[in-house]
Structure 1
Amino acid sequence: MAAKKKAVLFLAACLLGLAAYLYHAFCQQDNQEELVLQGNVDVREVSLAFRQSDRILEMLAEEGDRVQKGQVLARLDTRELELQLQRLNAEIAAQQSTVDKLHNGTRPEEIRQAEGNLRQAQAAAEHAAGVYQRKRDIYTSIAGISQQELDNAYHDMEAKQATMSVAEAALQEAKAGPRQEDIAGAEAGLQALRNEQLRYIYLLSQYELQAPDDGVIRSRLLEAGDMASPSRPVFKLSLPGKKWVRAYVPETELGRVYEGQQARVYIDSLPGKAIDGQVGYISGTAEFTPKQVQTEELRTSLVYEVRVYVDDADNVLRLGMPATVRIVR
């Protein structure tokens, strides 16, 4: 009886040992099929700055605000630009009047005035010609006047005839109206002013800083009264698109990782809950002693940066949050 009992105990011990061995082997196989990495969450960010340099008039968003695409976040002082635009509008109005005048042609009143000037010039020329003729007759018949007087009468007649010719040309010009070249030049000048007006309107629109996409304000870097410029960001905006975990793979494990490989991401605030992802980027250059590493072994090894992109539908991942990545072979 005792021998039988010992045999049963021995068999039970063997079975327990076999179960322990199989469990250990299974765990080792499972560990070999997964590559465990430590990393941090990254998100896409945009640094928002004004295109123009001027003083900030209003700041309309705070850190943590959710903003929508096209929402105005800040404004610059536009008073100087608005005064310049008003002056340009006045120049456009003046040039428009000039173009309208050229298109309308010569007014009837101006033609009648030109005709009156011509009649006056003709009368003066005829009178001067008569005076010269009489003085010429006197000079040749009885020599009653000097040569100087005769010459003066002749020059006066020529001057009056020249004035009449000018009046005739002015009347013809008034009847013909403006030249097409003058009209085209005036219209080109008007178009140039209008183009300049559009440029000023565009510059005014750039005095408002708008969100390029939906997102969350992460940093408010300037305040109202500060001088803005293209090189000084005003806000940092986090975009709600793809998020990823930046991790580092040892050189000896690099062959186990490839683009498109499935992975699971875990965070401390949700223990046991996996977030699905996949490997989307593998660096082609090894780094030595990266700035952020999670284990002592990696600090003295050549490592490669890997980005595991995730679909964070519940929006639980935050920038810089530590995460554990399990890459399935």
Structure 2
Amino acid sequence: MSGQPDAGAAINGDFVFGRRFFGGSCLEATMIFTKWKIATATAVLAAMAAAGIWLYQNRTLTVAVVQPEHDIAIKIFGLGTVDARVQSKIGFKVSGTLTELRADHGNYVTVGQLLARIDAAEQKARVAKAHAQVLSAEAAVRVAEAAAHKATVLATQRGRVSERRQALLARQSVSQEAAEDAQLNEGIAKADMLLTASEIEVAKAKLDDARAQHEWESVILNQHELRAPFDGIVVSRSKELGSVLVAGEALFTLVDPQTVWMLAYVDETRAGEIEVGQPVEIRLRSLPQQTFTGRVVRVGIESDRVNEERRVYVGCENCLEASTSANRRKCGSQSVCSSAP
């Protein structure tokens, strides 16, 4: 109380002050230590990440080395179509209404097989009329032959009468007039015989004309039926039943499968290396998973002046058959199904 601080008070005051001071320093030190640990951990992680990236970038890589090849065949590519050397558009030679169809797209046909018919009622009537004319002409020939036979018999009989009259005239047993009448009748009979012989020739000529007319009408009747001119495949049909066809209008298109080839268009700059007989690898759009083989059979002499491409014809024996078989498999139970190789 005399002005000196109380020891207890001083101690208490220092303790309190010092405690407060010491407590603040401890909290600050703890915070600094925590920051130091975080920084250290971050630095370690960054170093590990950098090391990992460096190791990844500088890792040992296994690289497959492509071995060099020698004598590699040069392939020339070209787009084209399936075609045939023997391809015919067939139809009726006469006009008429289509009444029967026996072939359709995709069918195989043999030579002489009936493909279609047109209405033939009118032509059948003409054939029947021509046949009647033949029968009439044959009868006329028989009549003429009978008349000729009669004239021959009559001429023979009158000739004998004339001979007897001449003999009797020599013995003066008959008059001269009777003998002359007998000679005249004999001459008339011979003339009739010649006339009937000519009538036979005329009748036979008419018979030949009637037979020719009948044959002509029969030929026209046969033209009301359309038959396959060769073994082949029907690739198109242009009319339906009931359609009216004019003479010469195409109804079917047939191709000979033995003459199928590929028409490819090759760039003119590459076509000079192509020769007849070279092997060809063929792929069809309808069978992209299959590869067919063929050979060059013809190289066009002149290039297309617009596209600057040359036509190259490639022979392939089984391309059309394979494409048609695949088409039939896709069609299932249907007898006809369109498909373009």
Q: TM-score range by the shorter chain?
A: 0.5 to 0.7
Q: Could you tell me which residue of structure 2 aligns to residue 8 of structure 1?
A: none
Per-residue CA deviation, residues 176-210 of structure 1 (Å, 9 max, x unaligned), is 36454333232222112212211111111111011
- Cα distance between partner residues in 1 of 2:101 and 2:79: 39
Q: From 33, 38, 60, give the equivalent of 2:79.
A: 38
Per-residue CA deviation, residues 131-160 of structure 1 (Å, 9 max, x unaligned), is xxxxxxxxxxxxxxxxxxxxxxxxxxxxxx
Q: Could you tell me which residue of structure 1 aligns to residue 292 of structure 2?
A: 275
Shift of the 111–187 alpha-carbon distance from structure 1 to 2, 3 Å rule, reads: same
Alignment pair present for 1:216 and 2:233: yes
Q: Contact 2:94–2:223 (CA<8 Å) still a contact in 1? A: yes
Q: Contact 1:40–1:320 (CA<8 Å) still a contact in 2? A: no
Count of aligned positions: 243
TM-score, normalized by length of structure 1? 0.62
- Cα distance between partner residues in 2 of 1:167 and 1:193: 37
Q: From 107, 112, 121, give the equivalent of 2:150.
A: 107
User: Cα offset for 1:171?
Assistant: 4.8
Q: From 239, 257, 265, give the equivalent of 1:248.
A: 265
User: Cα offset for 1:38?
Assistant: 2.9
- Cα distance between partner residues in 1 of 2:116 and 2:303: 42
Q: Contact 1:102–1:178 (CA<8 Å) still a contact in 2? A: no
Q: From 76, 82, 90, give the equivalent of 2:124.
A: 82
Q: Could you tell me which residue of structure 1 aligns to residue 94 of structure 2?
A: 52
Alignment of 1:88-127 (within 5 A): 88-104=130-146, 105-107=148-150
Higher relative contact order (CA 8 A, sep 6+): 1
Shift of the 274–307 alpha-carbon distance from structure 1 to 2, 3 Å rule, reads: same
Identity %: 23
Q: Contact 2:94–2:246 (CA<8 Å) still a contact in 1? A: yes
Amino acid at match of 2:246: S
Q: Contact 1:275–1:311 (CA<8 Å) still a contact in 2? A: no
SS across alignment from 1:317: helix
TM-score, normalized by length of structure 2? 0.60
Alignment pair present for 1:317 and 2:323: yes
Alignment of 1:141-152 (within 5 A): none
Which one has the bigger strand percentage? 1
- Cα distance between partner residues in 2 of 1:90 and 1:195: 13
Q: Contact 2:281–2:292 (CA<8 Å) still a contact in 1? A: yes
User: Cα offset for 1:166?
Assistant: 9.4
User: Cα offset for 1:49?
Assistant: 0.6
- Cα distance between partner residues in 1 of 2:202 and 2:280: 69
Q: Could you tell me which residue of structure 2 aligns to residue 205 of structure 1?
A: 222
Shift of the 288–199 alpha-carbon distance from structure 1 to 2, 3 Å rule, reads: same
Q: Contact 2:260–2:320 (CA<8 Å) still a contact in 1? A: no
- Cα distance between partner residues in 2 of 1:166 and 1:76: 64
Alignment pair present for 1:265 and 2:271: no
Amino acid at match of 1:55: T
SS across alignment from 2:321: coil
- Cα distance between partner residues in 2 of 1:89 and 1:267: 56
Q: Contact 1:264–1:275 (CA<8 Å) still a contact in 2? A: yes
Q: Could you tell me which residue of structure 1 aligns to residue 107 of structure 2?
A: 65
SS across alignment from 1:256: coil
Shift of the 311–83 alpha-carbon distance from structure 1 to 2, 3 Å rule, reads: same
Alignment pair present for 1:235 and 2:252: yes
SS across alignment from 1:258: coil
Amino acid at match of 1:91: Q
SS across alignment from 1:190: helix
Q: Could you tell me which residue of structure 2 aligns to residue 305 of structure 1?
A: 311
Per-residue CA deviation, residues 195-230 of structure 1 (Å, 9 max, x unaligned), is 221111111111101122333333221123222123
SS across alignment from 1:34: coil
- Cα distance between partner residues in 1 of 2:319 and 2:79: 22
- Cα distance between partner residues in 1 of 2:103 and 2:309: 41
Amino acid at match of 1:90: A
Q: Contact 2:300–2:311 (CA<8 Å) still a contact in 1? A: yes
Amino acid at match of 1:107: K
- Cα distance between partner residues in 1 of 2:309 and 2:246: 39
Q: Which runs of 4+ in 1 moved over 4 A?
A: 164-174, 268-273
Q: Contact 2:107–2:233 (CA<8 Å) still a contact in 1? A: yes
- Cα distance between partner residues in 1 of 2:340 and 2:260: 11
